[in-house]
């Protein structure tokens, strides 16, 4: 099973992937990258790109909308420069947009051929922002527990009721507060979901421990959860359609959350580990419950 296949559940450390050329993204040709996910039907792809000092390229906007999140370094588009936390979008149909980096940069790149650009970028203008400039919004959905905030990186971004995100899904910068715990599994019926961790710690029984660089890929109809974080965590959430959620009780879900919060050291650095290697956070009752979906 290819690690990047969006049709299959995925959980891996992005930083362990080898560098290679990512031909699926137009501006990635000739630079080192890591292919994170790909839709084999539409050609949509997500990648980490390492742009060298003095790099320059033109994105035609012909085949896909391109959205970039800057991890470090500098990125200039049509004369406007952003640094770490910068967000740049080139809508499909925009025409040539000139991108460059003076000192080099590491970025996450999202290439979406099917994104309805007229909805998100109606004037087809290049979009530039910085995460710290965007407002924090409380993430509210019926049955969702308190303790989650987000910043929208793609507009419009409907954020109320049972379904979040526009017709092409959403791209959000999300904060889960320290001690947050969700004891249930959730299921998204109508969208594929990709989450990239930027900082902090996170545990999802059945999948494992997450840290900065962890990738979680949830196809539609895949139950996943519960979840919890000791120190708090920041992540990028990306999906391809409006996201609703049904919540499903997990046997001993509260015990799993409690076990992690009682035993995850505030002194330890977050790490990436598969669930089968997280024995210290298993509860005794797991031997008597249905196996959690991986």
In the DSSP assignment, the letter for residue 133 is: G
Exposed/middle/buried for residue 261 (C-beta within 10 Å: 0-12, 13-18, 19+): middle
Whole-structure pTM value: 0.94
In the DSSP assignment, the letter for residue 200 is: E
β-bridge pairing 75-77 and 97-101: antiparallel
Return the pLDDT at 285. 61
> pLDDT digit string (tens) for 80-106?
999 999 999 999 998 889 999 999 999
Return the pLDDT at 294. 41
Mean local confidence (pLDDT), 207-216:
98
d(CA 62, CA 57): 14
Mean local confidence (pLDDT), 164-178:
96
Q: Please report which confidence band the pLDDT of residue 141 belongs to, taking 50, 70 and 90 as the band edges.
A: confident
d(CA 241, CA 167): 6
Q: Delimit the domains of the chain by residue range.
A: 10-133, 137-288
Nearest alpha-carbon partner for 223 in 185, 249, 275, 274? 185
- Counting DSSP H helices and E strands in the chain, the numbers are 2, 25
Output the six-digit token pair for 179. 């001690």
* 130 vs 140 pLDDT, higher one: 130
Architecture of domain 10-133: Sandwich (2.60)
As a whole number, the mean pLDDT across the chain is 93
Which residues does 63 contact at the CB level (< 8 Å), separation at least 6? 26, 43, 92, 113
Fold category of 137-288 in CATH? Jelly Rolls (2.60.120)
d(CA 217, CA 6): 7
CATH topology of 10-133 equal to that of 137-288?
yes
d(CA 80, CA 13): 32
Mean local confidence (pLDDT), 253-275:
96
Of 125-129, 209-213, 275-279, 287-291, where does mean pLDDT reach its minimum? 287-291
Contact yes or no for 195/216 (Cβ under 8 A)? yes
d(CA 28, CA 57): 9
């Amino acid at each position: 099973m290819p690690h990047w296949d969006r049709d299959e559940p995925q959980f891996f450390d992005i930083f362990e992937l080898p560098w290679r050329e990512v031909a699926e993204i137009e501006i990635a040709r000739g630079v080192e990258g890591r292919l994170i996910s790909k839709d084999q039907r539409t050609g949509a792809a997500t990648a980490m790109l390492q742009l060298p000092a003095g790099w320059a390229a033109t994105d035609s906007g012909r085949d896909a909308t391109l959205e970039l999140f800057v991890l470090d370094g500098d990125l200039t588009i049509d004369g406007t420069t952003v640094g770490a936390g910068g967000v740049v979008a080139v809508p499909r149909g925009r025409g040539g947009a000139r991108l460059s980096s003076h000192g080099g940069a590491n970025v996450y790149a999202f290439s979406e051929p099917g994104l309805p650009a007229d909805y998100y970028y109606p004037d087809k203008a290049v979009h530039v922002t910085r995460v710290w400039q965007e407002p924090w919004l409380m993430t509210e959905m019926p049955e969702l527990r308190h303790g989650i905030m987000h910043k929208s990186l793609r507009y419009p971004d409907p954020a109320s009721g049972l379904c979040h995100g526009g017709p092409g899904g959403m791209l959000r910068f999300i904060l889960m507060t320290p001690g947050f715990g969700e004891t249930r599994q959730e299921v998204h019926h109508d969208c594929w979901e990709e989450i990239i961790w930027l900082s902090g710690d996170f545990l999802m029984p059945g999948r494992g421990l997450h840290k900065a660089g962890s990738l979680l890929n949830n196809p539609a109809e895949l139950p996943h959860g519960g979840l919890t974080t000791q120190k708090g965590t920041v992540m990028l959430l990306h999906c391809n359609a409006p996201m609703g959620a049904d919540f499903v009780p997990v046997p001993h879900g509260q015990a799993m959350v409690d076990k992690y919060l009682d035993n995850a050291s505030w002194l330890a650095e977050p790490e990436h580990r598969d669930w089968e290697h997280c024995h210290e956070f298993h509860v005794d009752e797991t031997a008597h419950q249905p196996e959690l979906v991986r």
